Amino acid sequence: MLNAALSVLLAAEEEEGGGIDLLLPAPAELIAGIIAFAVVFFFMWKWAWPAINRSLENRQKAISGQLGEAEAAKVEAQSLLDDYRSQMADAKSEANRIVEEARAQAETLRSDLVSRAESEADQIVAKAREDAANEKARALQEARQEVADLSIDLAEKVVGENLDREAQRGLIDRYLTDLERMA
């Protein structure tokens, strides 16, 4: 293909010197090219170049502004997070304290109840003992009275006359007391 192109070029050159014509700029095209490029260059120099730089600067500003905002937002979020975390920690320790307190209260309440119950039980037992003792003493007293009376009755029947009841009773009492002492 390149050969085909070259052969055309060479043939043209041999025939009519077209190759040389090809190498020389045509005046109309040269003038058009100069004007066209001059317009492009002046446009690029005076308008496009400042516009390009302005556009880049604006973008740079916007991006760095946004980065700054993002940084501020990040800092704010961090402080919020810190606040939240410390609040969390406070709440947790508060909860712990409350639980601890409740537990302590429950403990004292329990031990109170237990000790009260114990003392009550002790009181009941003591009272029961006392009652029993009283009952026993009373029974004993009654028994003693009965024994004295029976003994006097028996003795009257044996002796066949009324005895001084009060004196005899004292005698028997003394005797019983002696017995108790000896026992």
Partner 1 sequence: MDELILAVEECDYVNEVVCKPANVLELFEFPPLFDSINRTVFLIGLAAIIVLAVVYVTYRKPRLVPTKFQAAVEALVGFVKDEIAVGIIGPEGARYAPYLLSLFLFILVGNLFEVTPLINFPITSRMAIPGFLAFLTYVIFLVAGIRKQGFGYFKDIAWPPGVPVAMKPLVGIIELFSILFVRPFSLAVRLFANMVAGHVMLSILLASGVIFIGAVGEIGLRSTIGVAWLGMGLLIYVFEIIVSVLQAYIFTLLSAVYIQTSVNPEH
Please report whether residue 14 would count as binding partner 1 according to CB under 8 A. no
Instruction: Return all residues near 147 (Cβ < 8 A) that are at least 6 apart.
Output: 172, 176
Query: Do 152 and 163 contact (CB within 8 A), yes or no?
Result: yes
| Residue type at position 104 | A
Q: Which is nearer to partner 1, 35 or 113 (CB)?
A: 35
Number of residues that bind partner 1 (CB under 8 A): 41
Q: Which two tokens stand for residue 149?
A: 């009376």
Tell the smallest beta-carbon distance from residue 67 to partner 1 (Å): 13
Q: Which is nearer to partner 1, 37 or 175 (CB)?
A: 37
User: Residues 39-78 vs partner 1: string with x where CB under 8 A?
Assistant: xxx-xxx-xxx-xx--x--xx--x----------------
Q: Which is nearer to partner 1, 55 or 115 (CB)?
A: 55
Tell the smallest beta-carbon distance from residue 70 to partner 1 (Å): 15
Q: Which two tokens stand for residue 124?
A: 């009941």
What is the 8-class DSSP label of residue 95? H
Torsion angle of C-alpha atoms 155, 158, 161, 165, degrees rounded to 10: 0
Query: Do 148 and 172 contact (CB within 8 A), yes or no?
Result: yes
Q: Choose one: 27-35, 102-110, 114-122, 174-182; the region binding partner 1 (CB under 8 A).
A: 27-35
Alpha carbon 40 to its chain centroid, in Å, reads 73
The site for partner 1 (CB under 8 A) is made up of: 1-2, 4-5, 8-9, 11-12, 15-16, 18-19, 21-26, 28-30, 32-34, 36-37, 39-41, 43-45, 47-49, 51-52, 55, 58-59, 62
